[in-house]
Structure 1
Amino acid sequence: MNIFLLWLLISIPIAYFVWNFYWKYYVLPNVEIEVDSIKASLALGETTSITVHLRNRSWAPAPYVKCKMKLPEGIRLKGSDEATAIKQNQCEVNVSIMGKQEVRLTIPIEGIQRGVHVISDATMIMTNGLSFKTHVVFLSVNSKIVVHPRRIKSSTEQLIRTQQIGALSLPKRNYAVSQDWITIRPYEIGDSVRDIAWYLSARRDEAYILQRSVAILAKTIVIINLQTDDVVWKVNTRLAERIYEVSYQVLETLLRAEMTIEVMTNAHEVEVSQTAKQQRKLISQRTFQGPVTKKSIRQVGHWLGQLSVHAKYSFDQMKIKLPKWSTVSVVVITAFSQPMDEKWTKQLRKQGCMVEFIHVGENA
């Protein structure tokens, strides 16, 4: 009996030491986390869920695991309000993971601010079940969620419509009439099939193209100017957000008119690197094709949600980089006017373009 007690007294510390050693070097490094979102693109105020995957790749259990994540400012836990502001961006879960097991946890969230928001880090606090000592591990998550701009009120939408943006002021029809055309020329490969007409000539059934007059514009260029002050790098966040809200509604309005829209801006897209620590600046240019659908609206909102609140270069520098257009409709959304804008506008109109300016203020 004494030998058994002696063996027990010796084996318990040895087992305790072996377990701590094995758990520290073989279990702790094999507990992983992955976070993904059901929707990577959210409208403002829209709710979705993030799924937290906790995996234990070792054979031994992880009896106590506390996972803590800080949500970015643009998203919060669903149901949070100002009274719970301290906890609304803190996500914390407690689980026990057996060997070779994966635990999935679903957490509801909602988008509250436009922009690119990244859940970048997670903190794992673990104990092995036999010791009171806690082990803290910092892991990289890198889960990106884009929140769209706010959809402005119907009264503002009506104001935009009454400004007769570009070709919206023209009657909508799916066919041409005689006064729409100013000349004809032989058909060339790549011409729109819609403009083909059969022209009576010495050679029968010869394909010709009806050339559109300046009054009929098939394409609209939307320029979003993020420069809000004489000093290019000076940022007015509230005004920039307002510009994106108006741009969102303008693009939706043009898509409803079944137009092809090319959008250009001197803002840059925020692209998150694999380390979630670096951001790359890009010149932003996109093309959207009507008619309007839920998919096209989400594409517009997703793209606008990725743009920064400051201009990469001035509007004057941007105008130098713009191509030489003719017979297109140009819509400029801006909060900052310069004397050179009038000269630039006259030049575009001489080239056969229709030019409209939408001036944006901070008030909704």
Structure 2
Amino acid sequence: MWLLLWFILILVVFSLWAAPEYWGAKVYPRIRVETEPVDTIVDIGDPVTFRCRFINPTRLPCPRIRLSWVLPEHLRSGSDTDTGQVDIDFYLMPRQSAEVTFTVYAARRGVAEWNEAYLQFTDLLGLRKEYRTVYVHARMVIRPNRKKPIEVTKALTELIGEMRTRRYYSEDPSLFMGLRPYQAGDPLRGISWLATARSGELMVKQFGHTTASKVLILFNGQTVYPFWKTFYKHRIDVMCERLIQIADKLIDNGTSVGLLTNLNDNIMRSCYEPAASGAYQSARLANRMGSITPYATSSMADLIHSASDYAAQDDTILLLTSYWDAEGIRALAGMSRRFKSVLVYNLNWGEQTGTLPGVPTFTEQLSEDEPGEKGEVS
């Protein structure tokens, strides 16, 4: 009797050891995973759905499977207890296929990219676990905040008015282009009183220009000295939002806008966007602001020196910056002598004082909402 009990006990212990071993050798490695590649461009707050298909070709079930995705800092799961990781539990019957979907939300500007997820297989009794890495391709370019309306600052209004006024200086009265409704800031000498009397509202004459209406925006990503050592993620995000606002305002006024920056681009691998106008250019610049990194590849002075290779003398140069130093000021003074119109839009977090001599400067005062968002490259 005791011999039979010992035999049954040994058989049970052997089964508890051998069954997970068999599942781990014959079943788990044969589970196939098919993931749908994700390569898209989204705005902050947009949902993105991932789909994975799991196939069990064996005659045995998989009682417990857990799919784990570690989310980049740019994404959120949307749950109240967001831990930065998505865990999905499911099971597979013999010769069954199942599709697993989950949704994440874009939370911050930048490139969200990752190439692997993790599978955890557990036997029916939970005594043994097997782990496996699944290689996927997922990349999202998250553009700066474009949906949430941001109050137009006084500095931005003054900047647009200054550019429009400078363009009126170069109008050719012999090139009459048409009429349009009066807008705040239009000179009174341009009002067509006959058209105003006929339509009942102020109408302004539109003329051609002796020079092209083209603006090259210099986006200076240097935030401290030295440029390669330290960066502020939050500040770069705010600057990207402001650049899109400025570009959209200029494009709405029929201006061709180009971009030159000293920030590295994860997707385009280029620091220059040729000048163009229209809705497509607004989208291209927004995409650029999503894919650039906070890492500056050159100083503000080097960025200003390189502007001569991309702009003509009649173009308007707009420098968007939150930092300057003595070398940058000297380079800016030299650029103002080469180009007819040079303007500076300064985003000030309370560190820069004074104005740039000889260059029209529009300053916007900001507060540090995220003081910890600072990185350092060693």
Scaled by the length of structure 1, the TM-score of the pair is 0.69
Report the AA paired with residue 292 of structure 1.
Answer: A
Distance 2:161 2:252 in 1: 13
Contact 1:63/1:96 (<8 A) preserved: yes
Contact 1:165/1:356 (<8 A) preserved: no
Q: Residue 78 of structure 2 aligns with which residue?
A: 78
Contact 2:20/2:128 (<8 A) preserved: no
Which of 104, 129, 136 is the matching residue for 2:131? Answer: 136
Q: Residue 123 of structure 1 aligns with which residue?
A: 118
Report the AA paired with residue 52 of structure 2.
Answer: H
1:329 matched to 2:328: no
- Shift in Å at residue 358 of structure 1? 0.4
Contact 2:120/2:132 (<8 A) preserved: yes
- Across the aligned residues of Structure 1 and Structure 2, the Cα RMSD in angstroms comes to 3.8
Distance 2:56 2:304 in 1: 56
1:220 matched to 2:219: no
Number of residues of Structure 1 aligned to a counterpart in Structure 2 = 306
Unaligned residue ranges in structure 2 (runs of 5+): 1-10, 177-207, 350-365, 368-378
Report the AA paired with residue 300 of structure 1.
Answer: L
- Shift in Å at residue 147 of structure 1? 2.0
Report the AA paired with residue 286 of structure 2.
Answer: G
Give a deviation string over 1:297-319, Cα, whole Å, max 9, x none.
Answer: 44433321221123111111223
Give a deviation string over 1:64-95, Cα, whole Å, max 9, x none.
Answer: 21112221222111243xxx2xx442211111
Contact 1:33/1:53 (<8 A) preserved: yes
User: Aligned pair in 2 of structure 1 residues 270, 289: CA closer, same or farther (>3 Å)?
Assistant: same
Superposed counterparts of 1:1-364, under 5 Å: 23-33=23-33, 36=36, 40-44=40-44, 46-56=45-55, 58-60=57-59, 61-80=61-80, 84=81, 87-99=82-94, 101-127=96-122, 129=124, 132-151=127-146, 154-156=150-152, 159-164=155-160, 167-169=163-165, 177-178=173-174, 213=210, 216-232=211-227, 233-270=229-266, 282-287=269-274, 289-292=276-279, 297-324=282-309, 325-326=311-312, 327-341=314-328, 343-362=330-349, 363=366
Report the AA paired with residue 90 of structure 2.
Answer: V
User: Aligned pair in 2 of structure 1 residues 53, 354: CA closer, same or farther (>3 Å)?
Assistant: same
Report the AA paired with residue 138 of structure 1.
Answer: T
User: Aligned pair in 2 of structure 1 residues 103, 353: CA closer, same or farther (>3 Å)?
Assistant: farther
Report the AA paired with residue 102 of structure 2.
Answer: I
Report the AA paired with residue 242 of structure 2.
Answer: V
Percent identity of equivalent pairs: 14
Report the AA paired with residue 219 of structure 1.
Answer: K
Distance 1:339 1:131 in 2: 66
Unaligned residue ranges in structure 1 (runs of 5+): 1-10, 181-210, 272-280
Distance 1:119 1:348 in 2: 42
- Shift in Å at residue 268 of structure 1? 0.4
SS in 2 for 1:231: coil
- Shift in Å at residue 221 of structure 1? 0.8
User: In terms of mean alpha carbon deviation, does 152-161 or 90-99 score higher?
Assistant: 152-161
User: Aligned pair in 2 of structure 1 residues 154, 70: CA closer, same or farther (>3 Å)?
Assistant: closer
Distance 2:99 2:173 in 1: 62
SS in 2 for 1:310: strand
Give a deviation string over 1:138-161, Cα, whole Å, max 9, x none.
Answer: 223341222222347543356413
